[in-house]
Structure 1
Amino acid sequence: MKRATLYQKLIFYFFIVILLSLTSVGIFSYTITSRELDAVTENQMSQIVGNSVHHTDLYLKSYERAMTSMLSNVNVKRFLDTRVYRTQYEYYEFRELINDETVGQMFISNPEIAAVYVIGFNGNALYYYNNIVGEDFEQDGVERQLDYFREHTSKEGSLSILNHSVLSGQENKMLTLVRQIRGLSSTRMEGFIGIEFRSADLSALWKGIDLGKEGYFFIMDEEGTIVYDSNQNRVGSSISPALARKIDTAGDSKFEYKAGGVNRIYMVREAEYPNWKLVVSQSRSVLRKPIDDIRLTTIVVGLFTMAIGLWLAYRFGKSITGPIQVLKNGMRQTEKGNWAMIPLPDHRDEIVELMIRYNLMVNRLSELVDQVYLAELEKQESELERQKAEFQSLQLQINPHFLYNTLETIVCYAAIQDSEEIAEIVQSMAYMLRYSVQTNIEETKVVNELKHVLYYMVILRHRIGREFEIDVAMKSEYLLDRMVRLTLQPLVENVFQHAFRDGVEDDHRIRIDAGKKEGVFWVSVEDNGAGMDEFKLAELRRKLDGNQLADRIDHAGGPKGGIGILNVHRRIQLAFGKQYGLRIESKPEQGTRIVMIMPAMEPFPEDERKEGISDAQMPFERFVG
């Protein structure tokens, strides 16, 4: 870029600024939006499966309550206690008694119940059917049912829910609630009570779940068998062992698994009552589609904005470099002795004013040249020499005058206020830059840091358009003590950026103090601004405990140019040790107090003490920005 023209530099710098701005905004907005959409998606899937678990538990508990009357029924227990096969009449008598006392009421209260049966370990069995074609079983059929229920139920009498039916042809169509029951005369388990209901009735709870074309919902039992699926053909089948392991270890978190060649997101909840696992699955591409659309939109809008920005940069660059190029060509003609005036554009601005001044200068030089030629004929040699000397003097002023006006034009384009305020700002900035680039000096005097803050306040005064006083309450004896360079001004700047983020009010105050105690030298910056709540304060302290330099803009501390709260804290630690650094106290709407903790060391020598005090050239008890 050293040999590039001014126009090329302007275009290049505009391009860099536009690119960085659009990239930062695009990445930030895309990242935040992606996280929020992922959180919303996870929350929706969690609500779907959570509601399904809740309704399933309530639905199945209603059937358990329906079984309670049978568990305490005397005739049911008497029937199970009998150790010999009963006569046909006794079967009929028990059947009618149990039906009148419990089963009949169950069918009325829960018409969706398809079958109720009582099976004793002694081989006695009663079967009741509700609006379906039932069947009676021979002794070997009863024995097969006993063997199955013994294998799949708890000996303690807890309820088991099975994808099973005693009726032939009803596989995967019925769900059975079964438990072992004690007899009347002993505490041993003497048989089973079972209730069968259609799985389609239970499926009605989940038909309202709409996950789109590529989403589905299924329920599996403890053995990995699918109890319910939106695709009825999968009911009764087992899921793959790999997916089953993922589901078993997922807990309440979502996970990703490739099924059928498609990456899918799964969310699992376990029903407390039947120990089923309810699973919601959706294609990852469907969930990520809004995020992909946002990314595409961000890229398109960013490119469009960049094109407009570059076009504006081109126009702006031409508006500056075009007139300067005209002046440059005119200057070349002047150097050749051609005193031609340059054409002026229709508009008026600082550069056009410079062109007008240049034309006046060329015109004046042309007149002087004519006078020189006339004097050669009419005046004496001494007068001719005088005219030549004046001519040479004016000619030598052409290049410096043009250069001065060009620099003045650049200042006019960069400045908004009058020349005195610009001079004051430039002087303050020059001091701050000289002070900042002293990279070989790490420790400095407190008075130098205060002076650095003063020049910052001069610049800030022009920025905010008002005066602001900082109360320096420290004793003068501390002005020559040692502290880390470039640590005080970032803390003051942080106050204006965050504590007074809504603007400086009349009641806003900043107080700087210092002191020594037990071998520690501390310097504090205290304000009465917005303050921080406990969460933000804890987060900021956590970052300070990380003991790392900030390499990006941090929301809590807001460093500028690599020097902020986090970097001040770390630089103090690098200079003096990890036991030193920043301590922060803050309350919402009451203000913040930041204390720099440093070791108390010997002040600078006496000759530097005098030099430091004379450098200050101001009373530090209170100064104005």
Structure 2
Amino acid sequence: MHKKKWTFRTVNDIPLRYKFLLIYVVSILLPIIAINLFFYQRTSADIKVREQENLRKSIDRAAGELVGMIDESVALSRMIAADDSLYEALDRTYNSPVDYYNEYHLFLRDKLTRYMSANILEVRIFTNNDTIQTGSHYIVMKDQETTLPGLEQLNRASGDILVIDYEEQSGFSRGKRISVIGKMKTFTSYATYAKYSKIDLEVNRIFSILNRETNSLQLQLVDGNNRPVVSSARFPSEGLSSSDIKSEYVLEKPLGNLAYLDGWKLIGVADTRHVDELLDEARYSILWLAIISVIVPSVLIYFILRSYHYRIRKLSRHMGKVRNERFDLIEIQEGRDEIGGLIRTFNMMISKIHSLINDVYKLEIRHKDLELDQVRTELSMLQSQMNPHFLFNTLNALLVVSTKNGYTEVSEIIKSLSLLMRQLLSRSDNLIALEEELQFTTLYLQIEKFRFGELFDYTFDIDPEAKGKHIPRMSIQPLVENACKHGLQARKNGRLIHITAKLNESGLVIRVIDNGIGMEQDKLRQLLQDIRSDQARDGTHVGIRNVYRRLELFYDGDATFSIRSEQGIGTEAEFHIPTDRL
């Protein structure tokens, strides 16, 4: 238990910056590096396995084509060995060269040409019948130059067919030869002279087969004596350095297990530059992937952690100031996360501390201001009551003259003005029924309607249950007057005021809505600041400020007052009285 507490205490003692750094290194950086290294090793191994498989397929394909060429030649050799008419013509003893040439033109000249194909360079028959004239496809073995190449090997071989390679020193097409030689002894009745077939493979065809795979594999054909026969153009011995050869990329493929192909094989050496290019591409791709996968999370985490660290440091510094009795607000963009919530809570706490400290002093000043406002209001009312009989007698005289002359509209307005003045001067109570306040407001609206005519109109939406609720006197009419003066006066037509009173579970909500010019948000904030301040600015918006102060005076701050406005659309003034204060 003590060890566990000590461990947590140790973690708690680490500065926040180093905790973030530790989390980043252990949880992000090292796993990304390890994953990319593992991915690179697996990718490299897969590339090598895939390339080795491709090399095996390439050498198998080349070996298959070479074996096909040889098998074609072996089959041709056996077909020649099974032609009894050819045996009879070659085993005959000719009396003179003329007799041979007659036979040659009639039968032997075109006998072997029908066996020619793209894979076969030449087909010849060797014999020791000296009555035959050497030429074209038929050779008489008289001396060393005309002796069948590989004859000794063929005689030592257990079979009748043998594949040999040698250098042709005579004739028009000298150079490397790969030939299939075979004994012609099928028919014992024609055995007076020895006869052998020799089929030369097309070396260029073999060379093209070996060079077909040069992009990835260099091939060399090796005979039974382990001597190179034909190599591709870039086989290591002809241009590829030993540093390019790796043991895992050297392949051998036997051409078959038949006696005449005993020891023949293909040796393939991979061109490692191709594999290295693939590995380099994989390395660069994984390197860029690693860089991106490190940089993107690192940048993201840097900004996130910087945001956290910066705001927590700010909060810590301001909390340190609180110890020194300095109650400064944290003036930064808080954000909507948990730290932002802490900062907002801290600012709220500091604001309340300010309020608690200052309320003791401000409360007395505020009460004195409210009392002074009441005295001023009462004084103003007293002054307005000076000689009211003179005012009412004058209005009555105007009413008599208007009625006598048929000025009906003027008479109605004078009546409304008289009633408005009587209610304004005669009532001294401060809380009246909502219905009476609405009647008083209606009188004022009728006068405004007379002033503006068809350009002005007003509507009421009053909850019947709310009419009997009591509200401060002169709490709706000043809002209506302010709407007419500041909102509708600049509008040319379609001026409308809508008054609503709704009673719900939370209390009574009264709204005065106009479709006037509205105001900008900066101006609205300044207006709200002015009406909530202890002193009015330049004597403006006195009516709205009086409504706000009356609500605070009668309801001790439980009632709320707000104004919403949008430029070009209109303004809405609202106050809410809680149910328990009605």
| TM-score normalised over the length of structure 2 | 0.49
Bigger Rg, structure 1 or 2: 2
Question: Could you say which structure has the greater relative contact order, defined with CA pairs below 8 angstroms and 6 or more residues apart?
Answer: 1
Structure with the largest fraction of helix: 2
